Structure 1
Amino acid sequence: MINVQFFPSRRIAFYMARMFVLRSLAVLAALVLILQTLDLLGESGKILAVPGNSDSSLWYYVSLRFPQLVARFLPFSVLLGTLITLATLNQNSEIVSMKAAGISAHQIIAPLIVASFGIAAFTFVFQERVVTRATATLNDWQAVDYGHVPKTSGVVTNAWVRHGDDLILARQVTGRGAETRLHGVSIYDRAGGTLVSIITAARGRPTNGGWRLEDVKKFDVAKTSETRLPSMMAADGVQPREFTLADVKADEQDFVTLNASIASLKEAGMTTGPLEAGLWHKLSGPLSALLMPLLAAVAAFGLARSGQLFLRAVIGMALGFAYFVVDNFALAMGNLGAYPPMLAAWAPFALFLLVGEAVLIRTEE
């Protein structure tokens, strides 16, 4: 008789879900511990080379890097946790017992998929509330080479703006609207793609539709001469919001804030395709945890004594890692503008959902 319930039974469902979650967390802890140690070894020299930094600075770096590593490798951990769980159940002939009791392949992996949904929900909340803030803080700290980061709120670093043929770099932007202030300004004056002069200034502020630069140095490329000026006007027509919006990064803002930033960028007539891909990937990324039990399910079926358990585990791992490769490729194409944002974010998920389901149906047959 075939069991037509969604779960095999409450006891089996809790047993499998608990085994799956514990093994996934164990794999995550091992991965993050090893990778955090290696990363800290690579960055500790740079951090301690800055005067005033100490051991506490290293722990501060760990507190900012740790959430990034957890969010990045949680899907990998779910994949490996699924493989370990299903391979163990298969090795102990528990899968065979379930199949003999009339439990289908879909019912066997159903508890894992439900547990994966919980992991996906946790990942989304963790990214929104913790990872985005840690990423923004760490990027600001790294932008000043692990030195002192100004406490001013709303600081934007390394903002690039294109004005005609000219390129403008503001190493730090503070304030909003008429109170916008630029620090460490570089203007690359070009004519027909040829560099004419380089203007650097310590500070800049908006004045009469342009920008008044202070403590200016102007280098003439043709004459190879440098002129110093106390102040000058430049970048006529460049709006303050072009600097404050120029450094919007999808991984530094939560879903709601990023959606609002995209709307502001559209009003300013700026390209938003890469940011829209990043916006939708904030949803599709955490949901990748739902695919892992489906892609790794091939390791659960087939007789362990046939000698093909290891091969099945390798196939499941290959399917899981193939998803991450395709997902990163699609997101890169979205950032380049080659793929529409929705396609870049959701196509890999839909493709491997179909692949996983096809493999599972074929296995069940």
Structure 2
Amino acid sequence: MKRINAYLMRTVIGGSLVALLLLTLLDWVFAFLAEIDSVGRGHYGLAQAMLFTLYTEPQRMYTLFPTAVLIGSLLSLGNLAAHSELIAIRALGVSVAGVVRSALMAGLLMIVVALPFGEWVAPDAARTGQDLKVSAESGQQVVREGSNIWARDGDRYIHIDHALPGRRLEGVSIYTISPVGQMRLALHAASASYKDGAWLLQEVQRSEFEDMQRIVVDRLSQLRIPALISPRLFDLLDARPAEMTLPALARYVGYLKHNHLDAARYELSFWQRFTTPLSALVMLMLAIPFVFGSQRSGGAGQRLFIGIVVGVGFYFLNRLSNQVGLVFGLAPLLSAMLPLGLFLFISLFALRRLR
């Protein structure tokens, strides 16, 4: 029985990895073609577009993981069924529940590997790719460390503690340096917002260095400046859930709620971090009825095709549920769990009919 379990697990894992590789290659091609529209903005060329799509592909790859598990398990287990190997395994006394158990063990093993990849490797790579694109398109040098952002614009160095939705900034510092490397002006603001083509800074402290011995300090309730960072650059620097680890995402959700800001998009992404690996297990459970069902009728290819359509349908239904939830103000947990719960019910119903 151990050898049979190991064989089934190797089959499921091998098929899932092949499906994931093919889906990833296809996804990267479409992502690169879509990114060509941005080529020519600033110094953003084909080489930068290729690097950007390569850096952001791990995040999309992790999103495709459940669909790849379904397609891969369907093809690999379907191949066993086509060669009557599943019949032989059943003849040895292995029940449908036993096959499901082996498949789920393979799924858990893949999740153990996929979780660190999706929680640390993918967000860090996506953040690196986004910074590369920002720097190339805007011509400004941008460095990010967590929520902190450093940008250079000519002789000005800009530091931002937080970039918030709605073109709002918190903790803004602007340092103007002379050509000989001396500080000329230091400006600190508690917050900033973009309105009517300019940036409005709140609670400002302005320090002007007239010479090495004299510093003039002014405090202003508001200060309007025409240029801080361009709105387009801000849109690119806006904190993205895909670029955050799970702990960072949880802290950011708490920060937004504490400041009475809309956190729905980030809270939804937080719950999706749990539903994505669980979706892979549900897809495995859903694959078993298609494989065993294909043994009882001649339409094996048709059933496999339907299974693949179901996997792609889950991917799009999941995205649709997320967008509908954001538009109509549904609870983020409900939006994240609804597609998973629906397909879990379908898979359990189908498995029950096999017994």
Q: Contact 2:42 / 2:138 at 8 angstroms: preserved in 1?
A: yes
- Residues 117, 287 of structure 1: 8 Å contact kept: no
Whether the 8 Å CA contact 2:131–2:143 is kept in 1: the answer is no
Take 1:270 and 1:172, find their aligned partners in 2: how far apart are those partners?
A: 13
Q: Match for residue 254 of structure 2? A: 263
| Secondary structure at 2:292 match in 1 | coil
User: What secondary structure sits across from 1:301 in the alignment?
Assistant: helix
Q: CA offsets per residue over residues 188-222 of structure 1, 9 Å max, x none?
A: xxxxxxxxxx3425x85642674312358xxxxxx
Q: Distance in 2 between matches of 1:85 and 1:143?
A: 42
3-state SS in 2 of match to 1:270: coil
Aligned residue-pair number: 307
How many angstroms apart in 1 are the aligned matches of 2:173 and 2:127? 17
| Shift of residue 295, structure 1, vs aligned partner | 0.9
Equivalent position of 1:107 in the other structure: 98
Q: CA deviation at 1:18?
A: 1.1
Partner of 2:223: 212
Matched, 1:315 2:306: yes
Q: How far apart, CA to CA, are the structure 1 residues paired with 2:171 and 2:33?
A: 32
Letter in structure 1 aligned against 2:15 = R
Q: What is residue 183 of structure 2 aligned with on the other side?
A: none
Alpha carbons of structure 1 residues 62 and 314: separation in structure 2 relative to 1, 3 Å: closer
Q: Give the corresponding residue for 1:333.
A: 324
Alignment partner, residue 274 of structure 1 = 265
- Equivalence map 1:46-125=2 (5 Å): 46-47=38-39, 50-51=42-43, 55=47, 57-125=48-116
The residue aligned with 2:278 is 287
5+ long unaligned stretches in structure 1: 1-8, 162-168, 188-197, 217-242
Is it true that 1:324 corresponds to 2:315 in the alignment? yes
Aligned with 2:19 (options 2, 23, 27): 27
**Retained in 2: the 8 A contact 1:298–1:316?**
no
Question: Per-residue CA shift, 1:120-139, capped at 9, x if unaligned?
Answer: 23332212112222333334
Asked if the contact 1:44/1:58 (under 8 Å) is kept, the reply is: yes
Q: In the alignment, does 2:311 pair up with 1:300? A: no
Provide Cα deviations, 1:330-355, integer angstroms capped at 9, x if missing partner.
22233225321221122322232121
Post-superposition offset of 1:158 = 7.5
Is this contact kept in 2: 1:90–1:96, CA < 8 A? Answer: yes
Which residue does the alignment assign to 1:11?
3
| Distance apart, 1:21 and its partner CA | 1.3
1:352 paired with 2:343, answer yes
Contact 1:16 1:111 in 2 (8 A): yes
Letter in 1 for 2:222: W
Deviation at 1:54, TM superposition (A): 7.1
Counterpart-to-counterpart distance in 1, 2:338 and 2:309: 19
The separation in 1 between residues aligned to 2:26 and 2:316, in whole angstroms, is: 22
Q: Percent identity?
A: 22
Where do 4+ consecutive residues of structure 1 move more than 6 Å? Answer: none
Q: Which residue in the other structure is 2:32 paired with?
A: 40
Q: Select 2:198's aligned residue among 197, 200, 213.
A: 200
For 1:320, what is the secondary structure of its paired residue?
helix
Gaps of 5+ in 2: 150-159, 175-186, 205-218, 228-233
- Tell me if the contact between 1:248 and 1:261 (Cα under 8 Å) persists in the aligned partners: no
Structure 2 SS opposite 1:339: coil
The reply to whether residue 132 of structure 1 matches residue 123 of structure 2 is yes
Instruction: Tell me: CA distance 1:33–1:326, structure 2 relative to 1, closer, same or farther (3 Å).
Output: closer
Spell out the pairing of 1:131-150 with structure 2 (5 A cutoff).
131-143=122-134, 146-150=137-141
